[in-house]
Amino acid sequence: MDTQERIIVEVFCRECQVEITLIEELADFGLIDIINENGLKYIHPNHLQQVEKIIQFHNNLNINKEGIEVILSLLEQMNQKNREVKYLQDKLRLYE
């Protein structure tokens, strides 16, 4: 993957006014993925929305890493159930 497609963690933190240590802690805890390459740390653009959501949970709502992990898990379960419902609704329409 080309490094131009990635966001440098330091730049992201400066722009979003977030401490680099927070991003490192979230990565160490397994909530976000950081790419280490050539001495720099990167965030993949596809993960940017998720990282921003996690930072909002942490900074705006004062939710700790464990709480964020639970919230993300519940949101994923909810999205999965919504996909299942949509699939079943589409399947049911075939018989109407």
Give dist(CA 79, CA 34) in Å, integer.
Answer: 24
Greater model confidence, 45 or 74: 74
Domain extents in the chain: 3-94
**pLDDT reported for residue 3:** 53
**pLDDT reported for residue 96:** 81
Give dist(CA 71, CA 43) in Å, integer.
Answer: 21
Q: Regarding the domain delimited by 3-94, which CATH topology (the fold level of the hierarchy) does it fall under?
A: Multidrug-efflux Transporter Regulator; Chain: A; Domain 2 (1.10.1660)
Give the predicted TM-score (pTM) of the model: 0.81
32, 1 Cβ separation under 8 angstroms? no
